[in-house]
Amino acid sequence: MLEKEVIDWQLYKFVIRGKRRASVLKALHKDLPKTPTQLKKQLSCWFNSSDRSLMELVKKGLVICLNSEDKTGKLYVLTETGEKIKELILKSENIQSD
């Protein structure tokens, strides 16, 4: 028997309720680390806005910092849960655009 994948719908709701949070989550990958500066440039937004969203996603366990002891050049990637939520958001967007 196949096990159903468990989705935390509260986390999904948390991400999609914040446009910037969803944008930051979609810009990250689990295998390719990015710095806050790279995210800011990619999203064309103010640093404070993307940084605040990034910290909210870290608190919720959707993103992790690979080198939290460093003062600058911190690298962020999605967790497995973050990747699942990202996939759901992308699927939802594709369904809405059809």
For the chain, domains (ranges, CATH) are 9-92 (1.10.10.10)
**What single string gives the DSSP state of each residue in 49-92?**
HHHHHHHHHHHTTSEEETTTT-SSS--EEE-HHHHHHHHHHHHH
User: Does position 90 have pLDDT exceeding 80, yes or no?
Assistant: yes
Q: How many CB atoms lie within 10 A of CB 80?
A: 10
Split at pLDDT 50, 70, 90, the class of 54 is: very high
User: Does position 3 have pLDDT exceeding 60, yes or no?
Assistant: no
CA 73 to chain centre: 18
* Residue % of the chain over a pLDDT of 70: 91
Q: List residues bridging with 34 in a β-sheet.
A: 76
Q: Is the pTM of this model over 0.75?
A: yes
- 41 conformational bin, left if phi > 0, alpha if psi -120 to 50, beta if neither: alpha
> Which whole number is the average pLDDT over 5-16?
88
Q: What is the pLDDT of residue 2?
A: 42
- For residue range 64-81, list pLDDT tens digits in order: 999 999 999 999 999 999
